Amino acid sequence: MLAQTLFLGENLLPLLTLAFGGALLAGNVLALIKPPETRRDDQDLEKPPMVRTLVYAAMGAVMAIWALASLLSG
């Protein structure tokens, strides 16, 4: 019998969710802590919008926690 294996393993979706959630959380928190020093265009903002950045950071945290729970539960 030919053994079936999934491309990149069985935990691909939780691992991708963990990666994207962690990146979303880290990127938005770092944008709040240290915004870019120079503006490239007149359309660039001096600092990120607070509410949108916090919402995106919270979404990233939920994604990362959910992915960790999925990976640890087996």
Its pTM stands at 0.78
Residue 56 is predicted with a pLDDT of 97
C-beta separation of 64 from 25 below 8 A: yes
Residue 52 falls within a domain, yes or no?
yes
Hey, is 34 helix, strand or coil? coil
Residue 69 is predicted with a pLDDT of 97
Residue 5 falls within a domain, yes or no?
no
Residue 45 is predicted with a pLDDT of 72
For tokens 């240290």, name the residue: 34
Domains: count for the chain: 1
Which residues does the chain have with pLDDT short of 70? 1-6, 39
Residue 64 falls within a domain, yes or no?
yes
Residue 26 falls within a domain, yes or no?
yes
Residue 65 falls within a domain, yes or no?
yes
What is the domain range of residue 28? 12-34+47-73
Residue 16 falls within a domain, yes or no?
yes
Q: How many other CB atoms are there within 10 angstroms of residue 31's CB atom?
A: 16
Query: What is the distance of C-alpha 50 from the center of its chain?
Result: 17
